[in-house]
């Protein structure tokens, strides 16, 4: 059997092998690029579990049309057939999705009132009302609210003046948020005696601004915990993955590239929470190819490259991502190597290490171009000729300033570090400057942070910049200059 989409996956059974058993977390994300089979996978799971007595499953189609208006024949269809909604939504687009949602709102009130009636604790707590459920929906909406009304089940009002608004007059994002909230609230109260309940939502980010995406996912996660069901979300949006404050009950799978690849979930760990939000709401646009991630060792390196992005006149958009240490970079590289091809066409990323005591260039790990500074560390970049020229000084002046400092501050806590630097004949390319970088900046005579000075100087480099033994281009290294700076 072939999954729909651009790619022929061939072995569907292999791909779906025990997927339902892997949904061990409350919120489960399935990420992948267009045409990779996310929607087909969700529909296959729906079909597989529909007749399983242990499971109650609901699938929400990705392209949801219509308006939030009551339609009698839809309500009649829902009433007359228990499989009407399930069968109607096994397609990529449903033109009357929101009309179906309105009919479910009428059912939601009945479900909530029965829930309260059957639970003595809820009956005793007068805060549990159908209005409290409506308030959950309204908390998602910044500009409008829904209120109980006749006929359609609810009316829509502007929050600013309480004026009634036609369902066709509100934004698509507001309609989408209302519909998806109602769908989840109805599901949360259905078939609670089943051993497992799974709500599958295909691309909930459609029409939703990133802020509203985050609100909805947090609402959904809280509801799933409260009512004890699992959620499987197929999405393009990394913003919704990164919006959850609590990640202990969240996992993510990336659609495998191989035709017989098996879907595997993994925790949303530190790497995922840092990397995924970088690419915004829809990373599957051209944003990633134009704005690559750059793995760096620490926050100092990030500040340098953030400054480069702010200061460079030519197009230069790189997201510097600090990994915490040089040892951690390899772990982050492995994550990118495994995940990026599932998300992007022809992805490209970079990693940058200090040279320290190593020699030679690093071997690339496609799609990652791996670079190493040609000087000892990022701090040495501030003593390159170009950097000193931007600071309105030169190397001879800096050496004289260092010698004078040693004469004047023999009892300073970093006197020994400065003495080691002097004993190396002021080896500015290879000296360990970490402990004395602020002293050197004072000698250079610039009040701004050294990372800002270095970043601003890197931003000035071009094809005509000098290449001398102590030029900034030389310290950065030819591989980094050619691939990251295109000079």
Rounded to whole angstroms, how far apart are CA atoms 217 and 54? 26
Does the structure show a pLDDT above 60 at 283?
A: no
pLDDT at 4 over 70: no
What confidence score (pLDDT) does residue 227 get? Answer: 95
Bridge partners of residue 295, in order along the sequence: 321, 351
Give the DSSP H/E element, type plus range, for residue 157. strand 154-158
Tokens of 172: 């698509």
Question: Rounded to an integer, what distance in angstroms lies between the CA atom of residue 196 and that of residue 251?
Answer: 18
In this structure, the number of other CB atoms found within 10 A of the CB of residue 148 comes to: 12
Q: What is the pLDDT of residues 304-341, one digit of tens each?
A: 999 998 998 777 778 899 998 888 999 999 999 988 88
d(CA 63, CA 179): 12
Provide the pLDDT for residue 277. Answer: 63
Going by C-alpha positions, the residue among 335, 187, 325, 341 that lies closest to residue 256 is 341
pLDDT of 10 above 70: no
List the Cα angle 328/333/335 in 5-degree steps.
100
Confidence class for position 244, pLDDT limits 50, 70, 90: confident
Question: Which element (helix H / strand E) includes 392?
Answer: none
**Torsion, CA 43, CA 45, CA 51, CA 52, rounded to 10:** -160
Other C-beta atoms within 10 Å of 379: how many?
A: 23
Burial 471-483 (b: 16+ CB within 10 A, else e): bbbbbbbebbbeb
Q: Of 234, 237, 251, nearest to 21 (Cα)?
A: 251
φ and ψ of 244, to 5 deg: -80, 125
d(CA 131, CA 152): 16
pLDDT (0 to 100) of residue 278 = 63
Three-class SS of residue 300? helix
Tell me: the pLDDT tens digits for 97-111?
Answer: 888 888 888 889 889
Show Cβ contacts of residue 196 under 8 Å, excluding neighbours closer than 6 positions: 20, 54, 55, 56, 230
Residue 365 clears pLDDT 90, i.e. is over it: yes
- State the average pLDDT for the chain: 86
- In this predicted model, what pLDDT tens digit does every residue of 403-451 receive, in sequence order? 999 999 999 999 999 999 999 999 999 999 999 999 999 999 998 999 9
Q: How many helices (H) and strands (E) does the chain have?
A: 22, 15
Query: What's the pLDDT score for residue 62?
Result: 81
Q: What is the DSSP letter of 365?
A: B
Asked whether the beta carbons of 44 and 3 are under 8 A apart, the reply is yes
Please work out, in degrees rounded to the nearest 5, the angle formed at the alpha carbon of residue 355 by the alpha carbons of 303 and 446.
40
130, two tokens? 């159908």
Residue 325 CB partners (closer than 8 Å, separation 6+): 297, 298
d(CA 236, CA 225): 24
**pLDDT confidence of residue 6:** 34
More confident residue, 272 or 351: 351
pLDDT above 80 for 345: no
Which helix (H) or strand (E) element contains residue 202? strand 196-202
- Please tell me the distance from the alpha carbon of residue 445 to that of residue 331, in angstroms, as a whole number: 39
Query: Of the ranges 199-208, 239-248, 394-403, which is most confident?
Result: 394-403
pLDDT given at position 282 = 42
Task: Work out the average pLDDT over 184-206.
Answer: 92
pLDDT tens track for 90-100 = 766 667 888 88
Q: What is the pTM of this model?
A: 0.75
Distance CA 312, CA 328 (A): 29
Written as six digits, the tokens of 56 are: 């109650």
Asked whether the predicted pLDDT for residue 381 surpasses 80, the reply is yes
Closest CA to 318 of 283, 349, 345, 342: 349
State the residue for tokens 């009698």: 72
Residues in the chain: 487
């Amino acid at each position: 059997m072939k999954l729909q989409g651009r790619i022929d996956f061939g072995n569907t059974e292999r791909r779906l092998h025990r997927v339902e058993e892997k949904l061990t977390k409350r919120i489960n994300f399935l990420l992948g690029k267009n045409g990779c089979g996310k929607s087909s996978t969700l529909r296959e799971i729906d079909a597989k579990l529909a007749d399983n007595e242990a499971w109650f499953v609901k699938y929400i189609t990705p392209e949801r049309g219509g308006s939030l208006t009551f339609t009698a024949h839809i309500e009649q269809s829902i009433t007359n057939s228990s499989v009407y909604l399930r069968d109607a939504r096994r397609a990529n687009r449903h033109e009357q999705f929101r009309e179906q949602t309105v009919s479910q709102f009428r059912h939601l009130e009945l479900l909530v009132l029965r829930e309260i009636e059957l639970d003595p604790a809820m009956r005793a707590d007068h805060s549990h009302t159908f209005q409290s459920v409506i308030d959950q929906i309204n908390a998602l909406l910044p500009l409008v609210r829904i209120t109980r009304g006749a006929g359609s089940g609810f009316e829509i009002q502007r929050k600013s003046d309480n004026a009634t608004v036609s369902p066709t007059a509100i934004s698509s994002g507001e309609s989408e948020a209302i519909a998806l909230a109602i769908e989840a609230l109805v599901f949360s109260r259905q078939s609670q005696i089943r051993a497992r309940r799974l709500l599958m939502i295909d691309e909930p980010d459609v029409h939703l601004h990133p802020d509203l995406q985050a609100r909805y996912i947090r609402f959904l996660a809280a509801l799933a915990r409260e009512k004890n069901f699992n959620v499987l979300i197929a999405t393009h949006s990394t913003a919704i993955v990164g919006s959850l404050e609590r990640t202990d009950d969240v996992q993510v799978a990336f659609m495998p590239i191989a035709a017989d690849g098996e879907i595997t979930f993994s925790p949303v760990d530190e790497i995922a929470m840092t990397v995924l939000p970088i690419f915004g709401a829809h990373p599957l646009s051209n944003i990633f190819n134009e704005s690559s991630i750059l793995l760096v060792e620490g926050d100092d390196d990030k500040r340098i490259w953030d400054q480069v992005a702010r200061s460079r006149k030519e197009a230069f958009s790189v997201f510097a991502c600090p990994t915490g240490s040089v040892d951690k970079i390899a772990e982050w590289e492995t994550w990118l190597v495994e995940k990026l091809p599932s998300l992007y066409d022809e992805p490209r990323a970079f990693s940058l290490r200090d040279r320290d005591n190593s020699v030679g260039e690093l071997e690339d790990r496609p799609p990652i171009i791996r670079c190493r500074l040609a000087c000892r560390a990022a701090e040495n970049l501030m003593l390159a000729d170009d950097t000193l020229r931007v600071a309105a000084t030169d190397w001879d002046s800096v050496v004289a300033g260092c010698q004078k400092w040693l004469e004047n501050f023999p009892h300073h806590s970093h006197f020994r570090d400065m003495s080691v630097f002097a004993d190396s004949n002021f080896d500015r390319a290879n000296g360990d400057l970490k402990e004395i970088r602020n002293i050197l900046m004072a000698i250079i005579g610039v009040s701004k942070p050294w990372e800002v000075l270095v970043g601003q100087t890197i931003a000035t480099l071009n094809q005509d910049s000098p290449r001398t033994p102590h030029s900034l281009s030389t310290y950065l290294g030819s591989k980094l200059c050619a691939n990251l700076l295109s000079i």
